[in-house]
Each structure stands twice: as structure tokens, then as C-alpha cells.
Structure 1
């Protein structure tokens, strides 16, 4: 005997029969309960043994738990159990150091408050002492009245070895100020050695490096000389405090 369609209650013949959701349907009757769109075995979604399309499939939502007497009793019981476990852990860790209970939010808040109070009192005492608001005036040269302990540096460790830093190399003295360029004098054959590096600042000066030999040197004035650099062959003015006589 052929079954009846779950939608139209008519006989369903084998050629048009759809067996789904524990029921039998005509192919045309297997449709969405809301929009009546014809469905097939690939795109249907079943809810409480009824077919739905993807757009009208009933959305499940969470319901809020009412504060019934039973729920309130369970909530109170859970809270009491938590407190009992906390006290048991506290008794077990008692005497093992403050760090066992220092990480609780309440103890962290108390510690932070105590630190703030200590900082406020410290600043108040510091301001009173600095402004002389309490007690007789303090004189630094009077040992009887100066009750503030002098600062004592910490004792050095016996194993600590202090090595002074090496003194930096002396910088070359600045070149003397030239008043005016002078004409090169005749050669006299004096030899000097450069003790610093020097870079020419004018066209009539010469550049040299530390250790260069300066030949045919002539004294122009108190601060400047004229000579020829043996390494480069250039002639010109040079500062007298950058070279020394050989």
C-alpha cells in the first residue's frame, strides 16, 4: 500500500516519492514551511521534523536563567564553597611566606593604598623639613642642632677593583688667527716635524698629517710659518703650534 503525503495527505506513488524526516512527501510538496519554496535533499534543513530553507530555518537562542528560589540556592551554595576552599588554601599556605596570598585582588588593592599613603606622608614630612615648618631652625654648621644624619657612601666590596679610565689624548691647540697673508721668504733650510693633523683653511696654506716633515721653514710672525711639506711637495703657510723643530 502506498503511503500518504505529509503535506497534502494524498497517496504518494513511488515515481514521485520523497522519503525524508521520517515522512513521505510528493516532490512538489517537499517545500519550506514558511516561503513554500520547493526543496530537495541537498538544500533542506529539518527542524522538529519539518523542512525549512536556509533563510527561514528557525534560529536557536539562549534563554536567560530566571532567579528562581532553586537557582538562588545553588548560587549561594557555590559562593560558600568558594569561600571555604579559599580559607582552606589560606590555612595550608599560612606561614610559608606572604607571596602565597599576595596575588589576590583585594590584597593588591590594600597594598597599593598603603603605598600611596606612605608616599603622601613622606612628601608631607619632606616639605615640613625643607620649609622649616616644625621645630627649631636647622643650621648646617651647628653640630648640636643638625640632627639629620650625614650621607655615608656604602662600603666598597673587598673584591671590587677600581681601574681609572685612561685620560683622553690632548686636543691640538687652535690655529692662531692670521692678520694678513705674507709673501714667502727665501729658503733657510730649517726642518720641522708635524705633531698634529692640519687642514688648510685658505688657498695660501698647506695641509699636513701628524709626522710629516716640513722643509725650508721660515718664521713669519709669532703664530705662523712658511714651509714645504716633504710628503706632498706643497708650499704655503702653516700654524707654528702644529709643528716642532727637529
Structure 2
């Protein structure tokens, strides 16, 4: 049985049949819904199972909302309700520790500005200390202060009977004695008491403090130094509350390091 045309609802014979858009059409009936221009399989465009030409093909458009006084009032009311809820949550969470800050574009801009200011201040202080404009505070400041009451000088130490003086040790030829204080060798007990040695000299103050790393740290800039957990950092000088300058004994590298990654030995 021959099908019916999708437009005129008449019988479509095989010689004039066009099969398109899930329907059968006469060649003359297969035309645009608007301008009635005859179409073929190459230039038609289907919309809701209806043929259209390229000019009259329906195009989807966004619905625009008119900026009427009523819509403006609803917009302002929604904004006020949002601010009221924000203030209520702020008052509830105030005094309970850290408050949750909404990650708005304004907060992101403020956060970025603070990071830039912090980096600028850090680099300015580092350049001043390196160029000699503002010398960092020496870790030996206050070393020559008056001792507290009851402080006992190390020169008053008296060795136990039978202690052998380390001055009997003969160094090899060409050996250069270090200027720092060397602890005495293990005492040797003898039958007869040896004469009392001379008082040991007081060691001079070191050039910097010694710290031990408690975390691993990877340098993020050329003026910083990397270290691993347990490394000893010598000749440490305090630059500010957050940064120090020192030398890693394991690698021999020198540079800036964060103060919260190390602890004093």
C-alpha cells in the first residue's frame, strides 16, 4: 500500500516519493513551511519534523527579562535577604574559632594583594641585610651581659684526683691547633695523684647558633637552601620573625630558610 504525503495527505507513488523527516512527501510538496520554496535532500533543514529553507530556519534565542520597577524591587529584596543571612551566620560563629570566609572575587583580590605585599617586604629586608644597608641582628648580642646571681664560672672547676692533663698529648708534625676549645680526653686513673692542671680556657662565642631541621624543605627561590629532616644548620643568623640565614652542614650550602622548620639545639 502506498503511503500518504506529509503535507497534502494524498497518496505518494514511488516515482514522485521523497522519504525525509520520518515522512513521505511529493517532490512538489517538499517545500519550506514559510516561503513554500521547493527543497531537496541537499538544501533542506528540519525542525520538529518540518522542512525549512536556510533563511527561515527557526533559531533559538534567549529570553530577555525586562528591567521593570517590579523586577528591580525583587532583585534588591533578594540581595538584602542574602546579606541578612550572612550577618546572622557571622554573629553565630563569632568567638568560636576560625570563621568560614566566603571565597568571593573581592576576598580573592584582597588575599592576592596581601601576598604581594608580604613578598615585597620579605625581599626588601633580605636585600638590605645582604648589601649591608641594615645588618641583621647578631645572635651573639647580649653575650657579654652580667651573669645572674649564683652563676659559677667554669674556671673554678677542680678535676678529680687521678685526672691526667691532656697537655701530655703530642700532635703529629704539621698539625695546627684549633683556636676553639677542645674537650679533654677520657681521664685515666693512676695509683698516684697527678698534679692539678691549669684552668681550662673559656671558649669564645660562636659566629652563629646551631639548629636542627624538624621537617623537609625544598628551596622555592635562588636565595633559599634545601634540607632534610634531621639536618644540622650551623652559623644561623636571624633575619626576621619568619626567616633565617644559615649553612647546612650535610651539603655545605648556604641560604635563607624558614624559622618554623627548625628548632634550636
The alignment's TM-score, normalised by the length of structure 2, stands at: 0.33
TM-score, normalised by the number of residues in structure 1: 0.35
Structure having greater relative contact order (Cα 8 Å, sep ≥ 6) = 2
Larger Rg: 1
